[in-house]
């Protein structure tokens, strides 16, 4: 009787193993037959999209898309890296199918591209100044001062609109630089007074910068609700089938907590709180 029981257990284990292997093989085969989707992302914008010490793509964008890809057997994602300014150009030229580089919606962009309906990150932009500065604590304190922003981002566009509401003697001087400019260079210009303020929508960055560059900086309040970053994947106009599939997967990842887990692990905070 004992031998028979052991035989039954052994057969059960074999059956489970065969079923598991068959499922894995079926899943692999399904992915091999899937449509290849080329994702265009960046390589120098840590912690969102960058190359790690081994030269491999890493960051929040990649981990989110890997989780999305797992839920979409009809697609197989492959990744190519570009400078930020070239991602949307490549999308329009049909060199890639999805743009993923913390893109925010703007009316100008929406005229040319199809955005996801569900954002996968939300964060308020912080005003970042020297710890010795007590004269900057809110947006209005930046009137007449010099700020550094990344070329083409939401903060730049906000200041351009905001300046139109100010008299000439209070307008904010905006110095834009590419996102690829080293952080150390920007902080050096805050230190020497070239910039009165810089900005970040990743609160964990301030602590990191202080650890690396001499404990110089502090957050001086939120910039504006208008600059709260909601980031979306970007698609070509008319590509609603792919957009809807990605949005459906993101909705599931948000619901089951996977998106929250990914953001905590890669960004150092939960970037999904304001998405619930």
List of residues 6+ apart from 224 with CB closer than 8 A:
125, 139, 158, 162
pLDDT of residue 191: 96
Write the DSSP symbol of residue 197.
Answer: B
List of residues 6+ apart from 76 with CB closer than 8 A:
31, 32, 34, 35, 36, 37, 69
pLDDT of residue 107: 87
pLDDT of residue 276: 63
pLDDT of residue 220: 94
pLDDT of residue 121: 94
Tell me the whole-structure pTM to 2 decimals. Answer: 0.68
Q: Which of 44, 110, 124, 41 is nearest to 82 (CA)?
A: 41
pLDDT of residue 28: 52
CA-CA-CA-CA dihedral for 255, 258, 262, 264, to nearest 10: 70
Per-residue pLDDT of the chain (276 residues; tens, 9 = 90+): 555 555 555 555 554 455 445 444 444 555 668 999 999 999 998 899 999 999 999 999 999 999 999 999 999 999 999 999 999 999 999 999 999 999 988 888 999 999 999 999 998 899 999 999 999 999 999 999 999 999 988 899 999 999 999 999 999 999 999 988 999 999 999 999 999 999 998 777 898 899 999 999 999 989 998 888 899 999 999 999 999 999 999 999 999 999 999 999 999 888 898 776
Residue linked to tokens 């692999």:
28
Q: Which of 45, 187, 214 is nearest to 128 (CA)?
A: 187
């Amino acid at each position: 009787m004992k031998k028979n029981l052991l035989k039954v257990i052994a057969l059960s284990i074999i059956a489970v193993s065969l079923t598991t292997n068959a499922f894995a093989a079926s899943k692999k085969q399904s992915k091999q037959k899937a449509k290849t989707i080329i994702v265009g992302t960046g390589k120098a914008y840590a912690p969102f999209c960058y190359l790690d010490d081994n030269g491999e793509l890493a960051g929040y964008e990649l981990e989110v898309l890997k989780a999305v890809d797992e839920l979409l057997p009809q697609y197989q994602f492959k990744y190519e890296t570009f400078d930020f300014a070239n991602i949307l150009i490549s999308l329009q030229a049909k060199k890639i199918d999805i743009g993923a580089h913390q893109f925010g919606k703007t009316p100008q962009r929406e005229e040319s591209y199809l955005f996801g309906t569900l954002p996968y990150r939300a964060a308020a932009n912080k005003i970042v100044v020297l710890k010795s500065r007590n004269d900057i604590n809110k947006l209005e304190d930046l009137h007449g001062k010099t700020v550094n922003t990344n070329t083409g981002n939401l903060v730049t566009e906000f200041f351009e609109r905001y300046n139109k509401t100010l008299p000439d003697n209070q307008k904010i001087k905006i110095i834009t630089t590419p996102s690829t400019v080293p952080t150390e260079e920007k902080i050096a210009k805050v230190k020497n007074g070239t910039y009165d303020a810089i900005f970040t929508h990743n609160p964990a960055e301030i602590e990191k910068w202080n650890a690396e560059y001499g404990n110089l900086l502090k957050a001086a309040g939120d910039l504006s609700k208008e600059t709260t970053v909601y980031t979306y994947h970007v698609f070509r106009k008319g590509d609603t089938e792919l957009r809807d599939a990605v949005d459906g997967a993101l909705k599931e990842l948000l619901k089951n907590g996977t998106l929250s887990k990914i953001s905590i692990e890669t960004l150092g905070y939960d970037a999904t709180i304001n998405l619930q």
